[in-house]
Amino acid sequence: MNYFRVDSLGEKIRLLLKAKSLKQKDLAERLGIKPSSVNQWIKGTARPDNSRLAQIAKELGVTVDSLLSNENAQYEITTIGEEPTSNLVSSKLSDYERLQYELRIKELELEMERRVSVIQSELLVYKEKELAQQQKEIERQRALSPDQDAINK
């Protein structure tokens, strides 16, 4: 699998159109605008109005955040025949943010392991106490019941 980074809004729109097998004019019709407007977005010579971004994102099956993000959204490229298609495969996090999240996940995993260990220790102590109580009950019942050897004689 090949991965590449996409930083421009126009390039994201172009790739998402290809991924959905849509043409620029299809998106323009759905948005009620001229195809030349979509073409200008893709070329980077114009930018869609902020009021239209939610509509564009909805038509392309993404969030407005992922559409606007310029923090290296990563796309997976696959080839069907001669036409490349793309799927968004990871979020827009920067390398620093990704490392922060990975570190936090490791911290949480360690905390969870520590808590599991504490619970296991507490369970072991509880079972030992329960076993000791059962042994005392068995001894108490033996003391209260007549000796089996004496009954059998």
Buried b (16+ CB within 10 A) or exposed e, 128-150: eeeeeeeeeeeeeeeeeeeeeee
Amino acid present at 37: S
108-149 residue pLDDT tens: 888 899 999 999 999 999 999 999 999 999 999 888 876 655
39-71 residue pLDDT tens: 999 888 888 888 898 899 888 888 887 777 754
